[in-house]
Chains A and B, each alone.
Chain A
Amino acid sequence: MADNKKALHDAVIAYKVDGIKEAVDNARKAGMPAGEIIDAMGDGMTEVGILFERGKLFLPHVLSAAQGMKSAMEVLGPELKDSGDASTKRASVVMGTVEGDVHDIGKSICSTMLQCAGFDVHDLGRDVAKSAFINEIKGGCTMCGMSALMTTTMTVQRDVIEILKAEGMRDKVIVMVGGAPVTQAYADKIGADLYGETASETTSKAKAISK
């Protein structure tokens, strides 16, 4: 089983769709439960994210690995449902760059990483109205990720948190903040639940907090 785990992990890092499919087929033939296969691939994706941030892999490679995982999930999803193992299901996340801010590359990479990690990502793009975040949360998103690249717009992250409090929804959602001027200290100050310095750090923390 350990060999299969390693093979799955390595196949994801090699980011070839066919290679991932083959590793999944082999693992299934060896009797590995769907949940464990997904976890092993998820670990591989985490490493892919780190390699991306260290400039060793690039965005198309990340997406190719994600595409391989998506193909695998088409097979594994029904098995997972049949077995009643819902342990790998992750939260719905609304993501966006806050209103007044048009910088979205970092946020988009973060959305991609979260999607690859199994989250149901609702990426609203950039210059996203506060009300749009709130509406998505009312619609069922239990996590909210807000990005800001400017000191003039990072305050909108606080505004959304205040609206959540005013509407009695703050306890129902995990709020994540990030972006160049945002720091852990600022996240603490405005009462966010999670700060991510990088896309892979955000994803790791999101996985940990959503368990």
Chain B
Amino acid sequence: MTQFYTRMGDGKRVTLTKEQILNDIQAGMADAADMAGVPDLTANDIEMLFEIISNKNRIVGVEPGNEVIVSYDIGQLDFTGDNGNSGNGVDVGRMEAALLHERALGADTFELAHADYSIKPVKPVIACEMQAMEEIQNEIVIPYFYGAMPNAGLYYAPDGPYGNPADLMREFRIEEAMKAAELTAEHLAKDIEYVAPKLVAAGADGFNFDTTASAGDADFVGTLYGVEALRKACPETYIMLGMAGESVMGIHGSIEYRGEAVAGKYPHQQVKMAEKAGANVFGPVVNTNTSKSLAWNMARSVTFVKECVKAASIPCHVNMGMGVGGIPMWETAPIDAVTRCNKAMVEVAKVDGV
């Protein structure tokens, strides 16, 4: 029986038969469809996924004409960060990193980022960030944004002024925990309103909110209200809103954005909230299960994202990298898996960008 080289979600090389791959595609798809209440993939989609997985070439690509926008997050940190921080340990300046992405790496957009890549720590160095933005904008041609994670975790103890919901809840102080989350959402929105328009004023073509909702539903609500404030302050600016996972974690459980609870929302529902807040682009994220195969993870991710794209009125740039989008959790993501997952997202889920 023919065996096809493929991978597990932790990057391990394995060989599977056609039947095993198809079973995993079905199972991954079914998991996503069940969780999010979205339709299964079509028979044609499943066939395409199998062809992508079983392709004998190490690297695959989209067909000519199907190319999409490639935007980047994390700014210069993909050079300067260490391997654990999605970087390569190459110490270059922010200007050099921006120009290398534009002129050597084919980036369609790029961004300036603070070393901590979070909204809150930008506040005390906002003038430095504005200066850097202005200087780099004088040299770069491609759209150049400012990027940061909302990272509401920094507002909870011990980093911030509000009680840590996880700690409070373990002591059954549930109402206090929920109140702390609500105050955090308000604080985060105010910080976004403070930071983001200043960077736009310094020349940023837009703002990228990355890994939104990593600290749960209050993180998402704070970001959405922050996006609203930025849209009001800067009607023409370009706003990207990317997520942290396929489901919004209910740390609060019932905190609402414009009358609708956000906990447990899936990509096709998240995107509608991003639109309402005023985002121009939405970045769906689906986390990889390291114990399942590439086929399982790819099918699951595509099932979530296909419905998101269908529901969206704005472009969707899916997050693809280590441990997301079906790609294995591996420091240097295997190129065979990276290209396969990207092809599947573009040609099956029909994303507008990566």
Tell me the A residues contacting B by CB distance below 8 Å. 52, 54-61, 63-64, 66-67, 70, 102-105, 108-109, 111-112, 115, 121, 123, 125, 150-153, 180-181, 183-186, 197
A194 to chain B, nearest CB (A): 13
**A63:B291 contact, CB within 8 angstroms:** no
Tell me the B residues contacting A by CB distance below 8 Å. 9-10, 12, 35, 82-85, 153, 158-159, 164-167, 169-170, 172, 174, 177-178, 214-217, 247-254, 263-264, 266, 289-291, 323, 329, 331
Bound-state CA distance A57–B253 (Å) is 8
**B290:A152 contact, CB within 8 angstroms:** no
Given contacts A104-B166, A125-B167, 10 further A-B contacts (CB under 8 A): A55-B264, A67-B172, A109-B166, A125-B158, A152-B85, A153-B84, A181-B323, A181-B331, A184-B10, A197-B290
A residues in contact with B82, CB < 8 Å: 152
Q: Show 25 residue pairs from A and B whose CB-CB distance is below 8 angstroms, ordered by the A residue.
A: A54-B35, A55-B247, A55-B264, A57-B250, A58-B253, A59-B216, A59-B250, A60-B178, A61-B250, A61-B253, A63-B174, A64-B174, A66-B172, A67-B174, A104-B166, A105-B249, A111-B166, A123-B170, A152-B82, A152-B85, A180-B329, A181-B329, A183-B9, A183-B10, A184-B291
Bound-state CA distance A57–B83 (Å) is 35
Bound-state CA distance A20–B83 (Å) is 48
**B289:A63 contact, CB within 8 angstroms:** no
10 A-B pairs with the lowest CB-CB distances in the bound complex, closest first: A58-B250, A108-B166, A152-B84, A58-B253, A183-B10, A151-B84, A55-B264, A55-B247, A60-B253, A183-B290
Residue of A66, A67, A183 contacting most chain B CB atoms (<10 Å): A183
Bound-state CA distance A109–B83 (Å) is 27
Bound-state CA distance A64–B177 (Å) is 12
B residues in contact with A67, CB < 8 Å: 172, 174
A151 to chain B, nearest CB (A): 4
Indicate whether A55 sits within 8 Å of B166 (C-beta atoms), given known contacts A63-B172, A105-B216, A151-B84: no
